[in-house]
Each structure stands twice: as C-alpha cells, then as structure tokens.
C-alpha cells in the first residue's frame, strides 16, 4: 500500500475512534465530549506520524525514514495530562471529571496507536475502554 494512503487511513481511524469516545462522553453530558475527544485522538495520531516519518535522518534518501518517535510520544502524554488536569474539579469531598480526564488520556493513546499503525492493539484497547466507560452505568442499572 502507498505509504501516504496508509497514513491517511491511520488519521481517519483515529478520528473515528476519538469520535466514539466523544459520543459516549457527550451522551452522558460530560465536560469534554465529541469535539474534544475527536481532536485529541486525531492530534495524537498526527503527532505520532510526524514523529515517525516527518523528520528525515541526515543522509537518507526519503522523508519516510524512522527517527525517534518516542520523544514525540512522551510529549503527547505529558501535554494531554495537562489538558486532563484542567478537567478535574474538587467540590468539598466530591471529585468530578476524573473519568473524563482518563478518557481523554486514553483517547490520546488510541491516536498514538493508530498513528504508529498498531491497528489490532489499538482496536482492542478502544473496545475495552468503551466497555470500561459503560461498566459503572451497567452496575447502577443492576442495583436498582
């Protein structure tokens, strides 16, 4: 497959996975919803792709030569942690936004996974993450 076509597929899949998480959060009227999760996942994918392919190594013939994507990945993790920290609020003895912050963090990881081309691993993680987000809702229904 053409490398650029595959990179576009990675971005589209990141967009879709981020949207799934955003829709779940939006449905529950959480502070970060569809747009936030979609953009975080898509941005993380682009940063990962850029870290992997965007900086050619001196003396190589192609721009698609692997460099050091771990540096970019580390910055994505810390940057998204900063965004998540802004979502968490403490009111007396109650903490709000922790799950939303965690879902944004996971969404960034999904974008990074898609950006790196780890389709199966990222897909399984997304499925497990969505199940994890619905567990509390499922348990509340069973108790009533």
Render pLDDT for 60-102 as a digit per residue (tens, 0 to 9).
555 555 566 678 888 888 888 888 888 887 778 888 888 888 8
**What is the predicted pLDDT for the residue at 18?**
95
The rounded Cα 49 to chain-centroid distance in angstroms is 13
116 and 52 Cβ atoms separated by less than 8 Å: yes
CA–CA gap between residue 141 and residue 84 (Å, rounded):
28
Place of tokens 């540096």: 71
**What is the predicted pLDDT for the residue at 58?**
58
- DSSP symbol at 117: T
Half-sphere exposure (Cβ direction) of 19: Cα atoms closer than 13 Å: 6
All residue ranges of the chain with pLDDT < 70 are 1, 55-69, 144
**What is the predicted pLDDT for the residue at 80?**
86
**What is the predicted pLDDT for the residue at 62?**
56
Place of tokens 């903490």: 95
**What is the predicted pLDDT for the residue at 65?**
55
**Both structure tokens of 125:** 């993680």
Q: Strand, helix or coil at 91?
A: strand
- DSSP symbol at 33: -
On the 0-12 / 13-18 / 19+ scale of CB atoms within 10 A, 111 is buried
């Amino acid at each position: 497959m053409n490398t650029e076509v595959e990179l576009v597929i990675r971005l589209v899949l990141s967009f879709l996975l981020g949207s799934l998480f955003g829709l779940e959060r939006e449905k529950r009227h959480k502070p970060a919803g569809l747009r936030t999760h979609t953009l975080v996942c898509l941005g993380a994918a682009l940063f990962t792709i850029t870290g992997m392919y965007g900086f050619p190594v001196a003396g190589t013939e192609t721009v698609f030569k692997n460099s050091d994507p771990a540096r970019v990945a580390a910055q994505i993790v810390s940057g998204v942690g900063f965004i998540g920290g802004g979502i968490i609020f403490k009111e007396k003895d109650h903490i709000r936004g922790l799950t939303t912050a965690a879902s944004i963090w996971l969404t960034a990881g999904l974008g990074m996974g898609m950006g790196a081309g780890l389709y199966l691993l990222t897909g399984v993680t997304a499925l497990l993450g969505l199940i994890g987000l619905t567990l509390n809702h499922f348990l509340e229904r069973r108790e009533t």
